[in-house]
Structures are given as C-alpha cells and as structure tokens.
Amino acid sequence: MAWTNVLSDEEVASLKKLRQKAYQRQWEKDNPEKVKANQKKSRQKYAEKLKLERKKKWASADKAKSNEAVKQWRLKNSSAHQNIRLKCQFGITKSEWDEMLISQGSCCAICERAESGGKRGWNTDHCHETGIVRGILCNSCNVALGHFKDDIKILYRAIVYLERTK
C-alpha cells in the first residue's frame, strides 16, 4: 500500500519538505567549503544591494546635492571619469582611445579636421549592432552619420546626388 493513499496532500507535502531539509543538512555537512563560499557570495551580494539602496536613497533625498557631488567628483577626477565612461560604453580604455586618435593624425577620421567642433569634444564612433569602435569623429561627421543611419546605400546615394548636382 502506497503512503499517498493513507496520507493527505498536506502531509505528503510536509514529508517532502522534511526530506529536502534532511538532504540539505547532509549536503552542507559534506560540503563545508562550498557552504562557506556560498555564504560569502550571498553576504557580498547583499552588501552591494544595501550600498546601492543607500546611494539611491541619499541621491533621491537631495537631488540637487547629489548632482552637485557627482559634478564635483567628475571635475576633480576627469581622467578617471573618462576612463570609466569609455570602458563602460565602448569597452576601451582612455589610453586606447588616445592611441586611436593619434593613429588618425589627431583629427576626425572622416573630414580630417583637427577640431572636434562640438561643446563636448570628440565623438567615439561605434557600430550600433556590434558595439565595435570604428574611430574618433568630429561633431559634424558624427551627426551626419547618425542622420544617414550608418547606411552605406544612403551615403552612396548622397554622394551620387552631390556629384550630379555640382
């Protein structure tokens, strides 16, 4: 006779939970190093979550003060900020970016102007599908590529149009 015929659904569920707990305790006893590693990982994850929550709470409590603090940090640490932004956005370091600009002759990769032409400086051009950095552009060339949606066919038609209407 099967136990499921004698026991109610709640009792069967309760027995399953007890069996799982017993298995869990035995596993923890047999794998103390894994338990310790899991606990450490869990504590770190919780600490990071708590730290992030505190930052968000502080930032939302006084938005103007938070924005000013960020602005001041960026001014004091402009090189570090640039490096972090480039690494996060494009996966390259500031020194790799500098090397790329120098390899282009310290000018725009398209029009070869030596000035960036924008308030924010040079633009890091990248493929929006792959994320791969293609080069450093002035503001005008970057905006133009954006308007042409990085489409070679449209750019070619624009060249044909300009040659035809000279």
Residues 62-74: b if buried by 16+ CB within 10 A, e if exposed: eeeeeeeeeeeee
So what's the pLDDT on residue 138? 95
Query: What are the two backbone dihedrals, phi and then psi, of residue 18, each rounded to the nearest 5 degrees?
Result: -60, -40
Closest CA to 110 of 81, 140, 72: 140
* Cα-only R_g, the chain: 29
The arithmetic mean of pLDDT across residues 24-37, rounded, is: 92
pLDDT tens digits for 15-29? 899 999 999 999 999
pLDDT at 142: 93
Q: What is the pLDDT of residues 50-75, one digit of tens each?
A: 888 888 887 777 888 888 888 898 88
- At 133-150, the pLDDT tens digits run 999 999 999 999 999 998
* pLDDT higher at 71 or 5: 71
Q: What is the mean pLDDT of the chain?
A: 89
Q: For the whole model, what pTM was predicted?
A: 0.58
**pLDDT at residue number 128:** 86
91, 127 contact by CB (below 8 A): no
Contact indicator for 125, 135 with CB cutoff of 8 Å: yes
- Map out the domains of the chain with their CATH numbers: 90-166 (3.40.1800.10)
Share of the chain above pLDDT 70, in %: 97
